[in-house]
Amino acid sequence: MSKQEKRAYGIFIVAAIIVLAVILIARFGETARVGVLIEEVDGSPAGYAYKIKVTNASLSLSGGVGTISTGASAVEDAAFGSGWNGDTSNSPSQNAVYDELIQYLPSLSDTDGDCLSAEPGTPVTGRFYCADANNWDPAGIGGTANYLVIYDGASYIAIVDEDGQLLVNTVQAAMNIIADNDGRSIAASEMNSIIITSGAADYDIPANQCDTVTGKWITLKVTAAVVPSLTSDDTADLFVLSDGTALDAQDELDGPGTAGSQVTVVCMAANKWYVSGEIGTWVDGGAP
């Protein structure tokens, strides 16, 4: 090979290297560096089973024929929204997923920072929110404990506060009416009901309904001139008359024997059922 031929060959090699470098830079960019490591598996011959490790890139195999394509990592931190729909190329970050889910299960603790100090700009119907009662009191509770609310599309309904107290005063439900003339052991599911009777029978409040201040109640409405009684199956429970007199534990509460009489008792202290309203005078009937 002559000197001129060698010189031309060298120029050709240099030019080829430059062109190849330009193509690689244009294809992958400076930040898309891809490293591939191929190892034989258990001594497999070339062209068969291999382990392939790709760094700083995503890897896909097409058609099960060993075609490999690589591209830059695609984890996005964009907030949840309509843009997620139909996107099969990008994965959400843990941060984006957490920020979305925590809105449905907010903590009632101040330390978590999940309680809102003001109404959200665009509240979502059916979503739960934690209200920082010191700064935002959407249900008008008037306390200082954080509480959970649900947005019904027009207003916020209080559910429970951080002390575990059900905020039932803001939730309205139809009363359960039970007609029974024979007396019965009231089921736990029948608490907060009105029992209408015309019989001189005994009605028993189930045990463990007033172990703490629960606010549970029962009303007994009498439609005949008979003397029904109200008792508790809990050995620790007692009734407190409207004048403040506390009966002995398990003593029954007896009606006046007139048609139209009525009594409502409410658990206002542990193991104490207070007469909160009565028609006719209900009295201590002694041990049943």
**197-244 pLDDT tens trace:** 999 889 999 999 998 887 889 999 999 999 999 999 999 999 999 899
Model confidence pTM above 0.75:
no
Residues 119, 97 share a domain = yes
The tokens of 49 are what? 């089973």
Which CATH number fits the domain that encloses residue 231?
Answer: 2.60.120
Residues 190, 148 share a domain = no
Averages of pLDDT over runs of 10 residues in the chain (288 residues) are 61 62 54 45 49 50 45 72 84 82 58 74 84 86 82 85 67 73 88 91 92 88 94 94 92 94 93 93 91
Number of domains in the chain: 2
DSSP 246: B
**Structural domain span for residue 199:** 176-284
CB atoms inside a 10 Å sphere around CB 229: 20
Residue 21: per-residue pLDDT: 59
Residue 113: per-residue pLDDT: 55
- Tell me which residue of 78, 79, 61 sits closest to 70, measured CA to CA: 61
Percent of residues in the chain assigned helix, strand, coil, to nearest 5 = 15, 30, 50
- Identify the domain boundary among 172, 206, 224: 172
Q: CA 139 to CA 172: how far, in whole Å?
A: 13
- Tell me which residue of 78, 118, 70, 120 sits closest to 96, measured CA to CA: 78
Residues 210, 196 share a domain = yes
Residue 133: per-residue pLDDT: 82
- Identify the domain boundary among 155, 172, 189: 172
